[in-house]
Amino acid sequence: MSGHSKWSTIKRAKGTADIKRGQTFTKLANVITIAVKMGGSGDPDSNPRLRVAVDAAKTVNMPKENVQRAIDRGLGKLPGQTLEEVLYEGFGPAKTAFIVEGVTDNKLRTLQEVKNIFERNGGGLAGQGSVAYMFDRVGEIKVQSSKFKVQSEEEILELIDLGAEDIEPFEEEGMQKYLIYVQSPELNTMGNKVTQAGYRVESQEMVFKPNTLIAISDSQSAQKVLDFAGKLEDLDDVQKVYANFEVI
């Protein structure tokens, strides 16, 4: 799930690792194909959206031939179904707001799958704009600390000086990291700046960042919301799931 570093993660059963990896490759291939189609180029150097997608594929060690196949499909060199981007808004358990991004070759199928999960878990899809106003469309850059293993005021001030509008520090696998938020047009520029400043960029992408958070403190409600988000993420056609809750 994307959009807020403080959310609890959903623990997966150990035996599903290979399945999830395959799903990741499939989802990334779809993102690459869409990026090529929308950007009109199969060259990551001239297609920023494609560059972000290819970088994400490298992060999970997606085979180069898979990446090239997805690019060729976007260029129309390979036969196959037409892929389209889809976006859904709705309300989940505990009155939480959700935005779901997807890529599909069958919009009716994907709509029905997403709708079923909402309705079977005490929520429901909403009309366009019903939820979107609770989120801001911004650029998000995930970076590793360049010098420190613990949160550093010095680093936060440095990132602000580089042009960050908002920063969320968090720790992952014993490493201090930061989510840097910038306005959409500044995403690639800021990514270059933090790289030149000595930070390792793990990802950079456009996200829906909640501007108002719902605090969930009881464990039962938290588990319902997390399970619901997990079911959405597990759909093959779903790329990203955003929500406006924070487990405290």
d(CA 244, CA 96): 6
Report if residue 155 sits inside a domain. Answer: yes
pLDDT of residue 2 exceeding 60: no
Count of domains forming the chain:
1
Position 111 scores a pLDDT of 97
Is 199 part of any domain? yes
Residue 190: half-sphere exposure toward Cβ, Cα within 13 Å: 29
In a domain, 56, yes or no: no
Decide if 205 contacts 172 (C-beta within 8 A): no
Share of the chain above pLDDT 90, in %: 45
Kindly state whether residue 158 falls inside one of the protein's structural domains: yes
Where is pLDDT greater, at 116 or 56? 116
Give 102 or 23, the one with higher predicted confidence: 102
In a domain, 179, yes or no: yes
99 falls within a domain: no
Structure confidence at residue 18 (pLDDT): 53
Distance from C-alpha of 210 to C-alpha of 131, rounded to nearest angstrom: 10
Least confident piece of the model among 2-11, 124-133, 155-164, 220-229: 2-11
Please name the helix (run of DSSP H) or strand (run of DSSP E) that holds residue 177, with its range, or none: strand 175-182
Query: pLDDT at residue 67 above 90?
Result: yes
**Three-class DSSP category at 75:** coil
Mean pLDDT on 133-141: 93
Q: Which two tokens mark 104?
A: 């599909």
Distance CA 97, CA 106 (A): 25
The CATH number for 191's domain is 3.30.70.980
- Asked whether 95 and 213 are in contact (CB, 8 A), the reply is no
Residue 241 lies in a domain: no
pLDDT of residue 173: 78
What is the structure's pLDDT at 20?
Answer: 60
Domain annotation covers residue 80: no
Least confident of 6-20, 170-184, 188-202, 213-227: 6-20
What does the pLDDT read at residue 165?
93
Which band of pLDDT confidence, cut at 50, 70 and 90, is reported for residue 201? confident
Q: The tokens 């487990």 sit on which residue? A: 247
How does the average pLDDT of the chain come out, rounded? 85
Query: Is a pLDDT exceeding 50 seen at residue 220?
Result: yes
- Distance of CA 135 to CAs 3, 129, 245, Å? 10, 10, 12
Domain boundaries, position 145: 134-209
